[in-house]
Structure 1
Amino acid sequence: MKSIITSVLFTAWCLGRNPAAKFICISYSDDLAHDLSNLTRRVLRSPLYRLIVPNVQLEKSAEDYIRTTAGGFRYATSVGSTITGFGADIIIIDDPLQPEDILAESAKRKYRSWLGSSVLTRFNDQNKGALIMVMHRLAPDDPSADFEGGADTILRFPLIAEADEKSYEYKGRVIYRRKAGELLNPALMSAETVDRLRHMLPPHVFASQYQQRPVVGGSGMYSVDQWPRYAPAEAGAEEEQGGSRRGLPDVREAHENGTPRSHRVHKDR
């Protein structure tokens, strides 16, 4: 749904207001980029759209490139592709990484390198150009986190509202309002389904992808946050076993659940 709203309907709406607007729409794969491009073309050619905005006329309509007679366009491509030759007013990035990619540092480094060298340089006006990223959260260091600190606007829609959310109105009519504990769309996912899903998934997956509140997770077998933390104790103690010094003990403090616990570890020489 988020891809349809942003990459398809939003671009069609903008072109209706300004047929000269220029878009670069980036999806994870070529197939998805082409599917969204085809859906956009269907909207622009639909009788209802042409009735509402008759001033939008298509001059070129290829699989990945839609251009209006006013010079505006929507260019579709995938993550990692070359964008040379195209400059945009608005760039939309839709789900740049998949959940399995977020575990690989090499994949994240490759994406960030491509973003900086091939995407952020494609604005026609660096002062006015807008970047829109649409994705579900995957981890604390996912692509969304790179922009969160400097973003003009952040829209976050957790599956279960964790607090009373801001209401949105249009022409005096409330179009969105949610209280803490309410589901995003009970018609599509009931409370029973959500509860079952929460018990099936690892906690960090549910928190990130469904609640949009990413946390550091693990395999579910033994997470790194379960390891006890040790702080060095005062050194200098030696232990004699059988009248001969066999090893130097390493005394450490293990803090488990906030309670210090003493450990003595032998290191044979």
Structure 2
Amino acid sequence: MKASSKNLPTVEDIQREIARRDYYEYVCYVHEGRYKKAPHSEFVGGVIQEAMDKKKQMNAGEIPTTNQYIAINMPPRHSKSMTITETLPSYYLGNFPEDRVIEISYSDTFARRFGKKNKEKVKQYGADLFDIQISKESSAHDEWLLDNEIGGMISRGVLSGITGMGADLMIIDDPIKNREEADSETHRSKIWDEWIDSFSTRLHPGAIVILILTRWHEDDLQGRLLSEEYGKPLPWQVYNLPLEAEEDDVIGRAVGAPLWPERYGLEFIQERKRYPSSFNSLYQGRPTAAEGNLLKRAWWQYYDTLPKMVHTIMSIDATFKDEADSDFVCIQVWGKNGADMYLIDNLKARMNFPTT
């Protein structure tokens, strides 16, 4: 006896079911061909799926209830927000419709955009995939509830304050906007104070916390969260996905391989390496200190009148070409008076060897 074709699932039925069961497939499904698949994004999707599976086990009493802390470092323009912040809250609420989500970004405008993106996904796919809908009373994009009037999402700028809602899922996406904010110790401390006095106090038992960021500074929020200088660190799972693969790459790349070769290949890596400090921090996730163990920032001073020098030294860091992609030539003249060294003259330019 043949099975009736009327009882067989359609291709669309199968796609919906796969999207409902697997987070990364959900990301691909709801962006309807606009999402560019990549191994690093699939890896991130797997990390998130594992965290949600653990939460389901906690809710079922199969494992102890503990908070999960996940930090993901990625270079700019590698779909980190699209893969996580624009999409995860809608999927999470489909699985846990009575839970609350808090999303935090460097500005209210940026955060509101994430709230809107997730609200739109619930409106378009929520009923079909998870039997959830947006409450008719929720008109705002930065704070909305499901129609059960329990589960929902709130989105705020990092310094805007969060009141009135706890978090079962908290996403902190790029709390620092730019280099100016990153280099401001005052601003970094304000963000840290918000974590201590506001964000961390909103977490419900069994919460998932996801920190997604490009590493601007070694003393950024992640740096402080992992430093014993600021108290015993929480059990953070840290996944660093550098632009150029290094030893023990988390997604198994060979050393030197690009993270997303279809978009940012070897040529792009070489371009970014022209700016070592920026490359190491923003693209490799390894920000370095402004001072080292030998030279301290406080030792550097300015002079008005140059004293008599006991010794004068010239240093030359030369190159052989003056092409656009050549290294700079640096020539400096230093004077020594007692224990003090004085920079007398400095020249930095692209020059060929004879010109130097």
Q: Same fold (TM over 0.5)?
A: yes
Q: CA deviation at 1:87?
A: 1.2
Pick aligned residue for 1:156 from 240, 265, 285: 240
Q: Equivalent residue for 2:266?
A: 191
Measure, in 2, the Cα distance between the counterparts of 1:123 and 1:266. 54
Q: Cα deviations across residues 116-161 of structure 1 (Å, max 9, x unaligned)?
A: 1122111233xx2332211011222111112234333111110001
Task: Select 1:214's aligned residue among 276, 282, 287.
Answer: 287
**CA drift at 1:165:** 2.3
1:136 aligns with 2:211: no
Within 5 A, what are the aligned runs for 1:63-78?
Answer: 63-70=141-148, 71-78=150-157
TM-aligned CA deviation for residue 79 of structure 1 = 0.9
- Distance in 2 between residues matched to 1:62 and 1:266, nearest whole Å: 64
User: Structure 1 residues 224, 165: CA separation in 2 closer, same or farther (over 3 Å shift)?
Assistant: closer
Q: 1:140 to 1:39 in 2, by over 3 A?
A: same
More relative contact order in 1 or in 2 (CA 8 Å, sep 6+)?
2
Checking the alignment, whether the CA contact within 8 Å between 2:119 and 2:134 is kept in structure 1 is no
Match of 2:97 among 6, 9, 19: 19
Give the partner amino acid of 2:157: S
Q: Are 1:58 and 1:68, in contact at CA under 8 Å, matched by a contact in 2? A: yes
1-side partners of 2:339 and 2:176: how far apart?
46
- Asked whether 1:41 is paired with 2:119, we answer yes
* 2:199 corresponds to 1:103: no
The answer to whether structure 1 residue 113 and structure 2 residue 197 are counterparts is: no
AA in 1 matched with 2:122: L
Kept in 1: contact 2:215–2:285 (CA 8 A): yes
Structure 2 CA distance for partners of 1:51 and 1:205, relative to 1, 3 Å:
same
Report if aligned partners of 2:105, 2:174 keep a CA contact under 8 Å in 1: yes
Other structure's SS at 2:240 match:
coil
SS in 1 for 2:159: coil
Q: Hey, what's the Cα distance between the residues in 1 that align with 2:166 and 2:126?
A: 26
Between the two proteins, what is the percent identity of the paired residues?
Answer: 27
Choose the corresponding residue for 2:128, options 35, 40, 51.
51
User: Aligned with 1:108: secondary structure?
Assistant: helix
Letter in 2 for 1:91: M
Whichever residue aligns with residue 254 of structure 2, its letter is: K
List structure 1 segments (4+ residues) > 6 angstroms apart after TM superposition.
Answer: 223-226
* SS of corresponding position for 2:167: coil
1:182 equivalent to 2:260? Answer: no
State the alpha-carbon separation in 1 of the partners of residues 271 and 112 from structure 2: 35
Q: Is the 8 A contact 1:41 1:61 kept in 2?
A: no
* C-alpha deviation, 1:49, in angstroms: 4.6
**SS of residue paired to 2:85:** helix
Which residues of structure 2 form unaligned runs of 5+? 1-78, 227-232, 297-335, 341-356
Counterpart residue number, 1:93: 172
Length, aligned pairs only:
213
Name 2:109's counterpart in structure 1.
31
8 A Cα contact 1:163 1:181, kept in partner: no
Q: Can you give the 5+ residue segments of structure 1 that lack an aligned partner in the other structure?
A: 168-176, 218-222, 229-262
Looking at structure 1, the residues matched to 295 and 243 of structure 2 have their Cα atoms a distance apart, in angstroms, of 30
Change (3 A) 1:166 1:105: closer
- Residue 209 of structure 1 deviates from its aligned partner by 0.6
- Give SS of 1:75's match: strand
CA positional deviation for 1:164: 3.8
Asked if 1 retains the 8 angstrom alpha-carbon contact of 2:168 and 2:204, the reply is: yes
1:225 Cα deviation after fit: 7.2
* Preserved CA contact (<8 Å) 1:64 1:76: yes
CA separation of 1:74/1:135 partners in 2, compared to 1, >3 Å: closer, same or farther? same
Give the deviation of 1:67 after TM superposition: 0.8
Which moved further from structure 2: 146-155 or 1-10? 146-155
Q: Could you state the TM-score of these two structures normalised by the residue count of structure 1?
A: 0.72
Secondary structure of the residue that 2:238 maps to in structure 1?
A: coil
> Aligned pair in 2 of structure 1 residues 226, 124: CA closer, same or farther (>3 Å)?
closer
Output the amino acid matched with 1:213: R
